[in-house]
Each structure stands twice: as structure tokens, then as C-alpha cells.
Amino acid sequence: MFYPKFHCELNYIESFWVEAKRYSRLHCNYSFNHLKEVVPHALDSISLTKIRQFSRRSARYMSAYELGLSGKAAVFAVKRYRSYRRVPETVLEEFGNM
């Protein structure tokens, strides 16, 4: 699959790497040998549930972009409709009334 450049929110593996890097920073003493020990633990620390959450958020961004939202409107819609797998079409009416 190919994703558009500069849209890391569409690829959920980017969120996975962010979580892995966060774990590594918190548990590393910043030596290369210790980092080689911590990275496998960081990758294993991310649960399947969390990975699915990343995937659903990416799907909501795709849905928002397909509806024609961009920028701050897409971010707002994705955060507002967090419980849905997609952004509903009625969100366009909400932005039209603002």
C-alpha cells in the first residue's frame, strides 16, 4: 500500500513506532548496549488492543478526508467521533453551520 507523503496519521504503524519510542525513552539509560535490550521489550509492550485503536483512528482520518474535510476540521471530526469507525456525513453540516 502506498500512502500520501506527509500524512503519517493515515498509517497506523507510525503510531506504533511513537509508542515504542516513548517506552524506549522511559526505560533506557542512553547507552547503545542497553538500547539493544530495551527495543525488543518496547515492541512487545504494545498490546493488540492498542494497535487496533491506532488502526481505527487511521480509518477515521481516511473517512474524514474522503468527506472532503482537511486540516483542523479533520482533526476535530476524528476526535469528536472517537466511538465510531468512520466520521459520519452529518459532520459536513456541522461545519457548514459554523
CA distance 51 to 18: 12
pLDDT exceeds 90 at position 8: no
Indicate whether 46 belongs to any domain: yes
Q: Output the pTM of the full model.
A: 0.78
Number of structural domains in the chain: 1
Whether 55 is covered by a domain: the verdict is: yes
Domain that holds residue 84: 9-96
Asked whether residue 80 is domain-assigned, the answer is yes
Question: Is there a domain that residue 53 lies in?
Answer: yes
Tens of pLDDT, residue by residue over 81-93, are 876 667 777 877 7
Strand ranges, E, within the chain: none
The residue length of the chain stands at: 98
CB-CB contact of 38 with 64 (8 Å): no
